[in-house]
Amino acid sequence: MLVIAGVLVVIGAIIGGYLMEKGNLLVLMQPAELLIIGGAALGTLLIANPPHIMMAILKGLPGTIKGSKFGKAYFTETLKMLYDLFVYIRKVGPAAAEADVEDPKASSVFSQFPKLLADHHALDFVCDTLRTYSSGTVGHYDIDQMMESDMEVQQHEREVPVASLSTVADSLPGLGIVAAVLGVVITMGALGGPPEEVGHKVAAALVGTFLGILLCYGFVGPLAANMAKINESEAHYYQVLRKGIAAFTKGIAPLIAVESARRAIPAHVRPTYKEMDQACRKSAG
């Protein structure tokens, strides 16, 4: 919701200042300039990116409005999930738990955590790692390296849509100049006409430059920055999963392994040890 508030503040501040100087709002209403800039920006986005990146951008934009889901409650539930999973595996043994890993939706352990089941990337990350661990042929160091490689690939995939959107933002001032130049060309053709008409066309050309800069620094650039911060939150989430699983595969007790995961949570959303312990005890009970 802060994104919507920010957009309203940007628009309100610009329009408010413009009106304070006795500006005419109708002069800013230049749909042709907006079509040139917006259409060209969309075209460059289509030229530069394959379909799967376009889909990633479209999926990422609504997330900037909803905000990151990786809050304190989400991380607390993740710690509880790891504890339940580690206790279960230690109780039945890695080989017996392989059936749960192969079909997590039918597992009595995984079914208690619908948020994990709904996130197929995180679910695959956990299950693929535990499947490798249950084979008994791979050491904990190699398992940790596998998780690190997986995280690097996923991080790169998350960064590409953000970089593409940032590139479009950087191009908007230039596209605004393109719209302004076209406006000047039209103005040149109107020379010799009524001064009011020439003045209107000059104003329309300048609005093109204004819109290009405003869209870049007021909207598209900040949206790309917001998406980058959400991606960073998701990277922290995978780091938490990695720390917990890596500690457990070394033979560390479940609660201490979960504590290792807790320490990887950013401070502003990290549950306290007491909160983690209460969640785990409640789960065990």
- The model's pLDDT over 200-253, given as tens digits with 9 standing for 90+, comes to 788 888 999 999 999 999 999 999 999 999 999 999 999 999 999 999 999 999
pLDDT confidence tier of residue 177, bands split at 50, 70 and 90 = very high
User: Hey, what are 243's tokens?
Assistant: 């720390």
Kindly report which listed range (58-72, 165-179, 271-285) carries the lowest average pLDDT score. Answer: 271-285
pLDDT tens per residue, range 82-139: 999 999 999 998 888 888 888 998 888 888 899 999 999 999 999 999 988 887 777 8
pTM value > 0.85: yes
pLDDT confidence tier of residue 284, bands split at 50, 70 and 90 = low
pLDDT confidence tier of residue 196, bands split at 50, 70 and 90 = confident
